[in-house]
Amino acid sequence: MSASPVTRSAHAAVDPEPNNPELRRLTALCGLDRRFVRGEGVWLTDAAGRRFLDAYAQYGAVVLGHNAPAVREAVEAALRDRVPAMVQPHEAVHAEALGRALAAEVPGGPRRCVFGTSGAEAVEAAIKLVRARSGRPVVLSAAGSFHGRTLGALAATGQAHHREGFGPMPPGFETVPYGDADALAYRLEREGERIAAFFVEPVQGESGVHVPPADYLARVRTLCDRHGVALVVDEIQTGLGRTGPLFAVGGAGVAPDVLLLAKGLGGGLFPLSACLVADAWWSPRFALGHSSTFANNNVACAAGLAMLRALAAPHAGAPSLLAHAMAVGAHLGDGLRRLQRRFPDLVRDVRGRGLLWALELEAPADQDGLLLGYLGHQGLYAYAVAAALAETASVLTLPTLGTRHVLRVAPPLVIDRAQANAVVDGLGDLLARLQERMGETLLRGMGWTATEADPDAVHGACVALPPAAPRTEVVPAPRKGYVWTPGYWDYRAGRHIWVQGTYVRERHGYHYAEPRWHERDGRWVLERGHWSRGGGDRDHDGVPNRYDRDRDNDGVPNRYDSNPNNPRRN
Ligand SMILES: Cc1ncc(COP(=O)(O)O)c(C=O)c1O
C-alpha cells in the first residue's frame, strides 16, 4: 500500500485527528508531516531512521541545537536536586538568577524582568506596561511586523491578514512604515502625546527577513526620547545571537526601554519569555496587576541560564558561540547569494544577517499551469520547495509566516561550516532540478504521488486542498500541453511511482494529466485524474517530438496528433 497523501487523507476521513486536523491536512498536503523521533544538535531523525539537517530550528528557537548537552545537564541537575519548578509567589531561585543575568546583558543599564511562557505573552505584558506607565492609549508598530497571535500582539502586528476573521481587535493600535525613521518622526510630531510606545523588530523576521537601514534604530531611539515614547524592541526572533550579537539592538548601539525575548530563551526545551524593562519605564500598577501561573519556572530558568552561559563560552575554536555563529552565518549568506546569482530566474532576493536568512523565490504564476498556479496563488509554493528540499537533500527549512514565497534558513547557532555548505549545496541541487523539472520535483517533494501497484489510490481519489481565497481572476489555460506519463523510482516507497493529475510545467512546456478541479464544501478539490498511460511524451524526455503521438492529450492516437494546425493543440 502506498504511503501517499491520498491514502492519508482517506484515513483522516474515518479517524479524525483531534489535534488541529486542518493544519495536519495542510502539512500533509505540503509533505511537511514527518514524524521526528530524535533530535541532536542540528540533526533530526525521523521514525524511519532518516536524518535531516534542521536549518530552521523551530522558527529560530532551537538556538543551541536539539537537546544541547549544556542545557540537558542543567535541567538534569535541577531535577536531580529536586528543585521545585513552580513555587510562585515565593522566590524562584533560578528565575531570580536568570532575571539578573539578562538584566546585566541588556544595553542601557538596570532592568526589571517579567517572565512569561510565549513570545506573544511578553508582547502582551509590554503593551500593558507602557499603557500603565504613560497613561497614553496608542501603541505604534511597524507595517509588516509580527508580534504574535494573542489579541493584543495580533493588533500590534503590522500584517492585516493575520487578523482576518478574529475581529474586532482591541483599539489603540496603529502602524508606520518599517525602516522609515522620517515616517515615524512625522507621526510623533503630530500625535506624540497620544502614543505610549513604538514596538519594533531590529530585523523583521516573519515578514520575510527585512533588514532596515543601518541608522534606523538609532534614529528611532532619538525620536522616542524626544516625544517621551517608550522604545519597545521585540527581539523574540532576533535575540540571543540569531543575528550576530547577543541582542541585535546592542549591535546597533541602542539602549531600548523595553526588550522582549522568547524562542531560544528556554534552551530549546522550555517555553520561556522575558519582558525586560528599564527602570524609568517600570510601573508599580503593572507590577501588581500582571502575572501568570507558569511564570518564573525554576527548571525552565535553569535551562535559560545554561543557554546564556553556552552563548558566551568558547565554541569550535571561536572565542564564543556567538562569534562562531557570526562567522558561519556570513559564510552561509555568501553561499546563498551565490545561489541567487546562479539561479536568477528562481531566486529573486537573498536577505539576512547572522544566522537568519531568507530566500525570496520567484513566484509561479497562473500561466505556469494548474499546479504551480495553485501553489503560487495559495501561498504554498515556498512550502512545496521546503518539502522538496527535505526530500532531495534531507535539509529542513520553512517559509516565513507572513509572506508567500520566502524560504527561511535559520539553523541552530552550533551549525558548522561543512553543515552550512550542505544546506547551500542541497538548495543548489534542488534549484537545478526545479529549473529543469519544476512540477515533478515539487510533486515528489510533497508526496503527491501514488504507486503503480496501487491504482485505486490513483484513480478517482481526491485530495482536499486547504480553503482557497476567493478566486476572482480566470485561470488561463496552459500555453502548451501534452500527455505525460511520468515515472520514477521512489526510494521511500521502494517502487516505481506515477505523478498524478495536474498540469506540470517543465522547462520545455507543460505536461497535462487530466486533473478535475472543482470546489466542494467550500474547498478547492483536486481530483486526481486518469492516466493516459499509452500516449503523450512517450520517450519521457519532457519534449514533444516525433516519438510522441498523442498531441491532443486525449490518450488515443488519432488524426489530431499528426496535424500541426490542429486547434486542439495549444
Ligand atoms: C518578532 C516576534 N515577536 C513575537 C513572536 C511571537 O512569539 P510566540 O510564537 O512565542 O508567541 C514571534 C514569533 O515568531 C516573533 O517572531
CA of 251 relative to ligand 1 center, distance in Å: 20
Rounded to a whole number of angstroms, the CA Rg of the chain reads 26
| pLDDT of the residue at 555 | 55
**Positions in the chain short of pLDDT 70:** 1-17, 110, 365-370, 447-570
The catalytic residue positions are 146, 234, 263
Closest CA to 163 of 142, 148, 174: 148
Name the maximum alpha-carbon separation found in the chain. 87
Residue type, 53: L
Write out the H or E segment, with its range, that includes residue 313.
none
Give the number of residues written for the chain.
Answer: 570
Measured from CB, residues less than 6 Å from any atom of ligand 1 are 59, 118-120, 123, 146-148, 201, 205-206, 234, 236-237, 262
pTM (two decimals): 0.80
In order of 89, 248, 319, 355, the CA distances from 282 in angstroms are: 20, 22, 35, 33
**Are 361 and 346 spatial neighbours (Cβ–Cβ below 8 Å)?**
yes
d(CA 11, CA 2): 13
d(CA 379, CA 434): 17
pLDDT one-digit tens code per residue, 195-218:
999 999 999 999 999 999 999 999
Whether 32-61+331-446 and 69-312 share one fold: the answer is no
CA of 218 relative to ligand 1 center, distance in Å: 23
| pLDDT of the residue at 131 | 98
**CA-118 nearest atom, ligand 1:** 10
Closest CA to 76 of 306, 275, 357: 306
CA of 258 relative to ligand 1 center, distance in Å: 16
| Residue minimizing CA distance to atom 3 of ligand 1 | 147
pLDDT one-digit tens code per residue, 303-342:
999 999 999 999 999 999 999 999 999 999 999 999 999 9
Decide if domain 32-61+331-446 falls under CATH 3.40.50.11540: no
Task: List the domain boundaries for the chain.
Answer: 32-61+331-446, 69-312, 452-562
Closest CA to 209 of 325, 351, 379: 351
| pLDDT of the residue at 527 | 42
CATH of domain 69-312: 3.40.640.10
| Residue minimizing CA distance to atom 13 of ligand 1 | 148
**What does the block give as the cell for 519?**
470546489
